[in-house]
Amino acid sequence: MKDIEVRVIDNDIEKAMRILKKKIQNDGLFKRLKLKKSYEKPSEFRRRKQREALRRERIAAAKARHRR
């Protein structure tokens, strides 16, 4: 796990909280916590992993097409 750090400037807590939430979301911590909240059957786990792999492939293919 990497350390997430947010600096509070001029006592602007609201802005710091928004930045922290965005960093945590980009890191995937919310997603991991949601998955650990309840039991996931092995078949559901495999299906989810397959969907995530397909999504990554589609994104990579779209980026490759865009670069041409």
Q: Where are the domains of the chain?
A: 1-37, 39-68
0.95 exceeded by pTM? no
20 burial (CB, 10 Å; 0-12 / 13-18 / 19+) is middle
Which conformational region is residue 21 in: left (phi greater than 0), alpha (psi within -120 to 50 degrees), or beta?
alpha
Encode pLDDT of 4-57 as tens digits.
889 999 999 999 999 999 999 988 888 888 888 999 999 999 999 999 999 999
